[in-house]
Amino acid sequence: MRLDLVKIGCKSPLISRLAPTPSGYLHVGNGVNFVLTFLLVKKYNGILHLRIDDIDTQRLKIEYIDNIFASLEWLGIRWDEGAKNPSDYYQNYHFSKREKTYKKEFEKISPFTYPCECSRKQIKLLSKNGLYPQTCLRKSFSYDPQKHSLRLHVRENTSINVENKLIFLDQKVGDLILWRKGDLPSYNFASLVDDKNLKTSLIVRGKDLLLSSALQLYMAKLLGWEDFLHARFIHHDLCLDANGSKLSKSTKSPPLLNEKSKKFIYKKVANILKLPTGAEDNISTLKEAFKI
């Protein structure tokens, strides 16, 4: 990773975030992202937020919130802003504290959306390429937030450049849901709003979220959010299992809270940053090798 590219384009102070989702126990892939983000922010004397992406309230559990704080402490990560512990999270940072903000911001992008009544089963039957076939684009019906979603219309040949990669959104993502059935924001929209409000200037993600980054940049362009358009994105390699599949909560990846996982995480980060042998011993040796 060329570290000079991290600094270019980031306003001072550099601001980034850790953004775990409390929909399951964290795994080593999350740990790699957190340690890498932490080191990059500290390298440039930036500000690191802890932002818990909890919009999936149905899957949120107390034990998952506890696991987030325990995992960060286990890895030796310290952050500057955000909830300090589970109690602080529930009192001051829970989704319910931000819900009105999402609705207010959505009003600004709603002219670019349309209501959709299609189920996943219907879309699967009608789609030829896996994308939404715009079934409801020209339909006329009364929007019911409990029954319908709202989709962002992506016009033909809409392209976004992310890390020098030109992505045609109409061909890769199509008309995605921005506001979910049940009157709730989508992950991509909520994440964009949160990053805008935190003034995030550095976003560190796995390569599997490249399309999410492109979509969020497109939304920011529609909304005229210039600061987000100038944010620096880094998409790092993923952690794979023995079969070459991405480690994730859904595939029951190895838990983060054990010594073997910690060693794997530190070694993976050391490799990403091309640090010398021995840097992977612990968080202190990583910081020393990275000259923090």
Per the listing, tokens 């409000």 go with: 197
Q: What is the mean pLDDT of residues 92-104?
A: 97
Q: Would the pLDDT of 3 be above 60?
A: no
- Name the band, by pLDDT with cuts 50, 70 and 90, for residue 255: confident
- Name the band, by pLDDT with cuts 50, 70 and 90, for residue 95: very high
Give the pLDDT confidence of 216-229 residue by residue, as tens digits.
999 999 999 999 99
Tell me the residue ranges of DSSP E strands in 153-279: 159-162, 165-168, 177-180, 184-185, 202-206, 232-236
For residues 10 and 134, the model is more confident at 134
For the chain, how big is the Rg over CA atoms in Å?
20
Give the pLDDT confidence of 152-192 residue by residue, as tens digits.
999 999 999 999 999 999 999 999 999 999 999 999 999 99
pTM for the whole structure: 0.92
Residue 100: Cβ-neighbour burial (10 angstroms; 0-12, 13-18, 19+): exposed
CATH of domain 3-102+186-289: 3.40.50.620
- Which of 16, 5, 8, 2 is closest to 201 using CA atoms? 16
Min mean pLDDT across 39-53, 215-229, 256-270 is at 256-270
- Name the band, by pLDDT with cuts 50, 70 and 90, for residue 84: very high
Per-residue model confidence (pLDDT) at position 5 = 44
- Name the band, by pLDDT with cuts 50, 70 and 90, for residue 7: low
With contact defined as beta carbons under 8 Å apart, do 93 and 32 qualify?
no
Spell out the long-range contacts of 105-109 with Cβ–Cβ below 8 A and sequence spacing 24 or more: 105/193, 105/196, 105/223, 106/178, 106/179, 106/185, 106/189, 108/223, 109/152, 109/178, 109/189, 109/219, 109/222, 109/223
Q: Would the pLDDT of 288 be above 90?
A: yes
Backbone φ, ψ for residue 182 (5° rounding): 100, 5
DSSP reduced 3-state for 183: coil
**Residue 96 carries which DSSP code?**
G
**Domain limits, the chain:** 3-102+186-289
Amino acid at 153: H
Q: What is the mean pLDDT of the chain?
A: 92
Per-residue model confidence (pLDDT) at position 9 = 56
